[in-house]
Structures are given as C-alpha cells and as structure tokens.
Amino acid sequence: METPLPFGWKPLHIDCYDDTTDLDEHVDLYVTQVNLYTNDDVVLCRVFLTSLKGAALNWYTQLPAKSIDSFDTMVRRFTAQYATSRPHHVTSATLASLWQGDDEPLRAFMERFASISVKIRNLNPEVALHAMLMALKSGPFVDSLCRRAPADMDELRARAAGDI
C-alpha cells in the first residue's frame, strides 16, 4: 500500500464491482484501465480496492495482512469468492434452439441470431453457419440457399441483406 502510484495517475473510469455483475469482465476492464499507466503487479494490487464497493469491498478489507503476494493471487481469490456471481455463459448449443418465427422478418431474425452468437466464446464459424441454415423458416430465401449453399457466414449475411 506504500508503493507510489505512477506519474499522471488518474482515477479509473469503470463501474465498481459489487458482486452483481460479471466478475471476469470487471477484472478485464480493471486490468485494461490500469495498464494504461503501468503493468506493475504491486500497483495492480494496490489500486484494486478502488474498483470495489459493497460486499466486495468488505471482502477485500477483511483479507489477512500479507495474504496477497501477486495480482494473480488476488484475482484467483477474488474469482473464487465471487464464482457464483458469474453469469451463465451462452454456448453454441443455444443456437440449436433458435428458430425463425413464422411471422418474424428475416432482418429481425438475423439481428437476433447475431446478438446471441456474439456472446458465444470461440464460436466455430461452421457451427454458426449450420445453426443459421437450420433455423431459417422455409421460403424463397431458404430455397435459394438450398440451390447454392453459402460458403460461410459472411456470404450468408450478404445474401440475406440482398433478400431483405
């Protein structure tokens, strides 16, 4: 706590973590902000408490003295403490349950599909393409896709844009 902050240090511009939001996102935002000034492990540990509030700040202030020897240790203890606060992560299996509604316009479905698929970490493009092809309702657009299958999602999006 006695380590001086880097020259030009300014308060962080992130929402304080209070155990109700995504802790992984909080740590990523925190590290990104601090790394604008330094990647010094001591500074990362020292300033971390300024990114907490409520129960999370109380947890931090209750840590035994000298129990944190690195920022990695801090993150491990933090994530262990708040692991149950992690949001449910969307997987590619979610795409299998998507269907274009009978009255749903192609544009609306494409937007809905995109908003879900961007939340999936390491989504295989071939899985996304297959899921999209299976989810589209029958009609002239699907007929055109059957006659000439798209090579990838970019081609499917371009063809959908033309059809919309």
Contact 120, 90 (CB under 8 A): yes
- What are the domain boundaries of the chain? 23-85, 93-163
Note the pLDDT of residue 15.
92
Given a cut of 90, whether residue 133 has pLDDT beyond it is: yes
Given a cut of 70, whether residue 96 has pLDDT beyond it is: yes
| Phi, psi torsion values for 46, nearest 5 degrees | -60, -40
pTM, 2 dp: 0.55
> Averaged over 21-46, what is the pLDDT?
91
> Averaged over 90-114, what is the pLDDT?
90
Given a cut of 90, whether residue 91 has pLDDT beyond it is: no
Note the pLDDT of residue 9.
84
> Which residues have C-beta within 8 Å of that of residue 59, sequence separation ≥ 6?
52, 81
Given a cut of 90, whether residue 51 has pLDDT beyond it is: yes
Cα–Cα distance measured from residue 45 to residue 57, given in angstroms and rounded to the nearest whole number: 13
How sure is the predictor about 88, in pLDDT bands with cuts at 50, 70 and 90?
low
Query: What are 137-156's pLDDT values in tens digits?
Result: 999 999 999 999 999 999 99
Cα–Cα distance measured from residue 23 to residue 20, given in angstroms and rounded to the nearest whole number: 8
Higher pLDDT, 38 or 86: 38
Contact 43, 5 (CB under 8 A): yes
Q: What is the CATH architecture assignment of 93-163?
A: Orthogonal Bundle (1.10)
Instruction: Give the DSSP letter string of 25-93.
Output: HHHHHHHHHHTTT---HHHHHHHHGGGB-HHHHHHHHTSPTT---SHHHHHHHHHHHTGGGSPPPP-TH
How sure is the predictor about 114, in pLDDT bands with cuts at 50, 70 and 90?
very high
Note the pLDDT of residue 87.
64
Note the pLDDT of residue 86.
66
